[in-house]
Amino acid sequence: MVGLEQNLSQVRDRIRTACSGAGRDVDDVTLVAVTKFFPASDVEHLAGLGVRVVGESRDQEAGAKLAELAPEVRSALTVHFVGQVQTNKANHVARYADVVQSVDRAKLARALDRGAAQALEAGERHTPLAVTIQVELGEGADRGRGGALPEEVPALAEVVADAEHLDLRGLMAVAPLGLDEAGTAAAFDRLMALSATMRSDHPDAMWVSAGMSGDLELAIRAGATHLRVGTAILGSRASHR
């Protein structure tokens, strides 16, 4: 508990400092504490420290973990699914996730829409499923972090926007591996340009999820609204699988 509190405090300090340097309001940036591979007890500790948004990336682990949480803790949390979603898992993910950040193809969007419809009908959720489109920011040989190609985003955004039970919120991306600070900043700038283009057709799609433990300052400087931070808060200890 002490270690989590210290780590979380340091991350919050980094966010405040980066927002100050970028001339941004810290309240405009949402911290998503990525709790994959860590047990429900850690999620409850984080909730006790004021964390209200958590991220998971493995369906089997996430569903079981969330079921372990005390009802009052679960009801206070917003759960973002930030990992790749297999189409055959979409129905289950739509039953517990409040947000899916990693929509990268039309087939998945339609599967999530069907899952959200069934969950709404069953009373397992009460609002449409919020989603962001994951964008591949790598160029040439640097591609491989996952996501729709930039040129595919407009058509995919239309599919999501037309889905009755999905709510298009914006874009998400992971910085390409192996880039220096300037390269990562340029990648995030490309993401922000894509976001601006999307908002011309979908003005409510304001979210830009970018930045993790090692590059959150660059993401804030670029204009990210959501940060996905795991290691800097929970450490890199062995998986609890």
pLDDT tens profile 54-101: 999 999 999 999 999 999 999 999 999 999 999 999 999 999 999 999
Quick check: 29 and 226 in contact, CB under 8 A? yes
What topology does CATH give the domain 2-12+29-231? TIM Barrel (3.20.20)
pLDDT above 90 covers a percentage of the chain that reads 92
- Looking up tokens 């405090």 gives 9
Residue 10 binned pLDDT confidence (cut-offs 50, 70, 90): very high
Which residues are within 8 A (CB) of 213 and not within 5 positions of it... i.e. 6 or more apart? Answer: 11, 229, 230, 231, 232, 233
Residue 236 binned pLDDT confidence (cut-offs 50, 70, 90): confident
pTM score over 0.85: yes
Give the amino acid at 212. M
| Rounded-to-integer distance, Cα 193 and Cα 188, Å | 9
Residue 146 binned pLDDT confidence (cut-offs 50, 70, 90): confident
| Rounded-to-integer distance, Cα 58 and Cα 44, Å | 18
Q: Whose CA is closest to 179, among 209, 141, 152, 148?
A: 141
Q: Whose CA is closest to 33, among 16, 14, 8?
A: 8
Q: Does residue 239 register a pLDDT over 60?
A: no
Residue 128 binned pLDDT confidence (cut-offs 50, 70, 90): very high
Q: Does residue 194 register a pLDDT over 90?
A: yes
